[in-house]
Structure 1
């Protein structure tokens, strides 16, 4: 049985999360560089990278209403202290990477770190996406490159057998990638298999971290302690459940009108506190999407003014969301009814 708050004791939860969280964010100080103010940085595990604790989601940079707003989002992030940026080939079939090549790399590359990802299912497609990304972003290297959106143990095995991981290792040896890892959001089972067997040299992992997660097939409970033990860098995504905590049922859906649906944000938990929850755990950064410039500004202010939750505050937030979170439907990307059939 997968660990949830229904199947483990309060003491076990404290050992798995609270103790680990103690060192997550509390030796941080803001700094500055030639561009100005820099958000507090955290160590990304064994990579040794020091990353700003907020990272704008690259899909949402591409989703901005127009190119001018995409540029403004990049500029606002820089102004507010971001030095770590997310993207992937899958975000507009390279369009997000193109925007970085147009508006990020030419002015800021020496000051920022970039994470990108491949959804390639074999060595050839992974290499094509990597080389294409380098061209599109107008850079010679990518700081962190992930095997993207691993859905299951079977998916991970298939990609590795088809040479994807070997190709990432080759690219790292070539200096085109500095650090490698993986991402996924469907099941902690896949993450744990990769960590223990399929991809033991993973340096960083991107996974869901939110207030509903502990109540259903939890990445926080099942995978986070393994990552900490292995000193693998942890990056939090889906801090609002990809709009699921807002009542949405698909990625990008804004959710239910306030007070009318099953949303827990903002009825029970504010957006600000949902982000505080993730940042209060041992994660290096939250990778958070913003639908528009106003929302991005609010998220950047939360990151700048972050205050860690106490254990009791964190527990209260989890409890408030537990009833609606226990079926997994709120986290629709890992809900049983949303999963592809296994072959």
Structure 2
């Protein structure tokens, strides 16, 4: 996709996503959740589900010294209209899921669309991790479970092999333990494309795909350019992550937090998942939602021009260029 076409496409599809115009048919069993005028809401691919455009990242919710502070953060976000909650089986050795499960007591579970991720590549390992996650999250059903860290070219083959994790995921879906199935990854768009191709070869359709979407991605191994159009064409809900690349993209001094969030929200994504570890950062995310207007083509171009030099070699997207974010590489036993 040429640069000018990319800018036009991003602006146009971002408006569609913001207004819900890109939604598919309402899915059987789609759940209606409370909404707030403070928040933007979007369709999740073609599932029929409506979710908050800001997602509460689970990793950072396991970092507070006091578990009660984590719970207060989640309650504050949900009370102000955040309905999409992100987590993972391995985040903070399970602490993130435990705290989220505690926060979702007393009626809060019914207010949210709950997502977590599994590292297991085999059916046996996936099942083991899923049962642990269900227990930690104190629920008998998780709305969306994604294959985590699909970052190696062989990951799709392992997941879709005989006895692979896809078998366990489909069985769990049929059993009512999970509702939707997706995958995540942050290393290289070629791996995402291979996962989508492998799924098609097996006659499988993912409900969601999670990928880096930020002001530097367009310049280096771009998921936004290469993967997002394919996902949109297939009716797959796009979940944006790495808006700030942890803190590294902000460290480049080329973009401010609200700008970065507005850029993500302008893309044709269902949710921008962002790490929230304090009330101050929660307020930042809420401000981004309340003040959001889809960026114009000229505004997107100006922002990308500003980040082009810093982004050209992936220096600030360490998740693409280093093993810094690769939990399953450091812990291969999680894969099974």
Which of the five TM-score ranges fits, normalised by the shorter chain? 0.7 to 0.9
Equivalent in the alignment of 2:257: 271
Tell me how far 1:126 sits from its aligned partner. 0.7
1:224 to 212, 219, 228: 228
Equivalent in the alignment of 1:211: 215
Distance 2:323 2:42 in 1: 36
Alignment of 1:288 with 2:292, yes or no, is no
Alignment of 1:157 with 2:157, yes or no, is yes
SS in 2 for 1:106: coil
Deviations 1:81-139 (A, max 9, x none): 11111111111222111112211243311121100000113211111111111111111
Equivalent in the alignment of 1:69: 69
Alignment of 1:301 with 2:280, yes or no, is no
SS in 1 for 2:276: coil
Distance 1:305 1:11 in 2: 26
Distance 1:35 1:23 in 2: 19
User: Is this contact kept in 1: 2:70–2:99, CA < 8 A?
Assistant: yes
Equivalent in the alignment of 2:15: 22
Report the TM-score when normalising by structure 2. 0.87
Distance 1:321 1:11 in 2: 16
Equivalent in the alignment of 2:29: none
User: Is this contact kept in 2: 1:89–1:95, CA < 8 A?
Assistant: no
1:78-93 map, 5 Å: 78-93=78-93
SS in 1 for 2:246: helix
Equivalent in the alignment of 1:178: 179
User: Is this contact kept in 2: 1:37–1:79, CA < 8 A?
Assistant: no
SS in 1 for 2:6: helix
Report the TM-score when normalising by structure 1. 0.85
Distance 1:281 1:136 in 2: 33
Tell me how far 1:214 sits from its aligned partner. 0.4
Tell me how far 1:64 sits from its aligned partner. 2.2
Alignment of 1:12 with 2:12, yes or no, is no
User: Is this contact kept in 1: 2:250–2:256, CA < 8 A?
Assistant: no
**CA distance 1:337–1:183, shift in 2 (3 Å):** closer
Tell me how far 1:36 sits from its aligned partner. 6.3
Equivalent in the alignment of 2:54: 54
Tell me how far 1:175 sits from its aligned partner. 0.8
SS in 1 for 2:18: coil
Equivalent in the alignment of 2:316: 330
Q: Which runs of 5+ in 2 are unaligned?
A: 22-31, 330-336
Instruction: State which drifts further: 301-310 or 281-290.
Output: 301-310
Instruction: Give the aligned CA root-mean-square deviation in angstroms.
Output: 2.3
Distance 2:249 2:48 in 1: 33
Deviations 1:3-42 (A, max 9, x none): xxxxx533332454333223121359xxx97686572310
Distance 2:75 2:246 in 1: 24
Tell me how far 1:241 sits from its aligned partner. 1.5
Distance 1:323 1:36 in 2: 39
Q: Which runs of 5+ in 1 are unaligned?
A: 1-7, 248-262
Alignment of 1:233 with 2:225, yes or no, is no
Equivalent in the alignment of 2:113: 113
User: Is this contact kept in 2: 1:85–1:115, CA < 8 A?
Assistant: yes
Deviations 1:143-182 (A, max 9, x none): 0100001112212222332511111011111111100010
Distance 2:269 2:237 in 1: 7
